[in-house]
Amino acid sequence: MPDAADRASEYEEAQRDMALKRALCVPAAEGRDHCIDCGGEIPAARRAADRSAVTCIDCQRDRERLAR
């Protein structure tokens, strides 16, 4: 039976895998201006903080909520 540490490790691995897949799909020099989920604009501050961001803040929050 998995404990909290096992679940945290699995969650971290899933997040890392998603980040790697996103980074491989988007050329680093170009980045993305619009969310791949909703089509809304990704704020400049988010793009500056995470050059591999492909989702807006709301969609990323939803993705993380679903991953739990």
For 14, residues 6+ apart whose C-beta sits below 8 A from its C-beta are 67
Please indicate whether residue 63 or residue 1 has the higher confidence score (pLDDT): 63
Domain encompassing residue 25: 4-67
Number of domains in the chain: 1
For 31, residues 6+ apart whose C-beta sits below 8 A from its C-beta are 47, 51, 52, 53
pTM for this entry: 0.53
Chain segment 39-58, per-residue pLDDT in tens: 999 999 999 898 888 899 99
Chain segment 8-35, per-residue pLDDT in tens: 889 999 888 888 887 777 655 455 789 9
For 15, residues 6+ apart whose C-beta sits below 8 A from its C-beta are 64, 67
Q: Are 36 and 55 in contact (CB under 8 A)?
A: yes
